[in-house]
Amino acid sequence: MIAISAVWIMVLLLGGGLTLDRTLTNLVEQNFDTQLNNNLTALIASAEIQEGNQVWLIRPMGDQRFLEPNSGLYYQISPAGETVSLENETVLPSRSLWDQTLQLRRSDRVDVLNYDSAQFDGSSLRIAQRDATLPGSDTLWTFAVAQSRDEIDEQIDRIQRILVISFVILGLGLMVLVLLQSYVGLRPLRRIQGAIQHIRTSGSNRVTDPLPLEVQPLVQELNMLLEHSERQAEEARTHAGNLAHALKTPLTVVNNAATAHAPDLADTVIREARTMRRHVDHHLARARAVGRRAVGHAQTPVRESAEAVRRAVERLYPDVRFDIDGSSDAKVAIERQDLDEIVGNLIENAAKYGGGSVFVTIDAEPDNQRCVIWVEDDGMGIPEEKRVEIFDRGARLDTGKPGTGLGLAIVRDVAEIYNGSVDLAESEDLGGLLVRLSLPRA
């Protein structure tokens, strides 16, 4: 920020200084030329022709410097186009020229010609020149007034010194202002840094220090991130505790059976190992869902997920008829892997326990915030009094078919992680089970 500001200030000051210098220099030169042109006009007005076609002044020039030798202010009247010398009697120089003459340019212009000349050693001249014809003479005369540039150059040098000093002071002042602005403007960020250090050292879980309004959105996002991380850590601790508690009983049973050398030890190990596997699968599914939810805001097309699941389940149940209907543009705020797992469990359960028909309706109840997915089958359904306990881990109504009893439990837990919900009802069209899955719309 400081480097960019410094470069930009230098560019602006340099451009502005050069422009102002050029403008003031032109104004000084124009004022100088105006004075020369006024003396030239007075010179032409005072000139007349006397006998012998010689020019003379009927009244002296008003500036005393025309009478002082080498004063720096001169005039000269000479025939146009002729070589000027002191021996030429038709040339009328000012006394200030003394033993010198002005070597003028040849010009066809009828107006005033202003230019610089270096014909005098050690002094640069500014000359105003004009050709004119005097009454009583057919000769074209060249009138010239010259003045040393020392005065104008001194004025320009003084202006340039003032400009340089002023712009240097202005640039330094602006740089100090940029430094102060950067220091004061970034001070709230240093205060946030101190607040974060305080969180790390004191064990606090929020930024509570009073901070300027401009950084409050950053503080709010930081507090939300801290809250989210704290919630993630709490959920991880809960999962670890639940898993440890769930595995404790099966391990105790296996240990007791092994210690007592029970004759059914093998059956006990197999049974309790299945129980432990159900618990591990359930908590791993929840942990994966929580971890993916923390990554960011997902946008998953529901129709693509349902079609992919249908193709996979069709290989397991080739005799089941699958129908998918509804919106093809609906998207939900859930990771694709988790949506596949949820929809896969529902469709597989419908195919496994149904009577041969599975009907999936996407966005069955259009809403601005929620996307509702219906999964229906033509099986025996679930009695209303059993529709709550069926979501418990390991709960199964039909033990004659293979399974772990974790499908609906995983569906419920993963859906709740994404602020969704799932409930059961009776299908009016097929007569079997209707599962209503509600997820937040992307």
**Mean per-residue pLDDT of the chain:** 83
| Confidence class for position 394, pLDDT limits 50, 70, 90 | very low
Contact 378, 430 (CB under 8 A): yes
Give residue 372's pLDDT: 93
Q: What is the pLDDT of residue 392?
A: 64
User: Which amino acid type is present at position 428?
Assistant: E
Phi-psi region of 369 (alpha: psi -120 to 50; beta: other; left: phi over 0): alpha
The pLDDT value given to residue 245: 67
Q: Name the residue ranges covered by the structural domains of the chain.
A: 2-156, 213-293, 300-440
Residue 134: C-alpha distances to residues 45, 53, 138, 353, 357 (Å)? 9, 10, 8, 127, 123
Q: Exposed, middle or buried, 394 (CB in 10 Å: 0-12/13-18/19+)? A: middle
* pLDDT of 406 strictly over 60: no
- Over the stretch 71-109, which tens digit does the pLDDT of each residue have? 889 999 888 877 677 667 778 888 988 888 888 888 766
Greatest mean pLDDT range, 76-80, 172-176, 213-217: 172-176
Query: 71, 67, 96, 97: which is closest to 85 by C-alpha?
Result: 97
Q: Quote the pLDDT of residue 401.
A: 46
The answer to whether 413 and 282 are in contact (CB under 8 A) is yes
Whether this model's pTM surpasses 0.75: no
Distance CA 97, CA 173 (A): 51
* 300-440 to CATH, choices 3.40.228.10, 3.90.220.20, 3.40.50.1220, 3.30.565.10: 3.30.565.10
Instruction: State the pLDDT at residue 282.
Output: 65
pLDDT tops 60 at residue 400: no
Q: Which amino acid is at 439?
A: L
pLDDT (tens digit per residue) in 254-296: 888 888 888 888 888 888 887 788 777 766 766 666 655 544 4
Q: What is the pLDDT of residue 159?
A: 92
Q: What is the mean pLDDT of residues 169-194?
A: 88
Task: Describe the crossing of helices 265-293 and 407-417 by its angle, rounded to 10 degrees.
Answer: 20
Mean pLDDT of 303-327: 91
Residue-wise DSSP of 278-310: HHHHHHHHHHHHHHHHTT----EEHHHHHHHHH
What is the C-alpha to C-alpha distance for residues 148 and 402, in angstroms, rounded to an integer? 115
What is the per-residue pLDDT for 402? 42
Nearest of 194, 175, 173, 195 to residue 183 by alpha carbon: 175
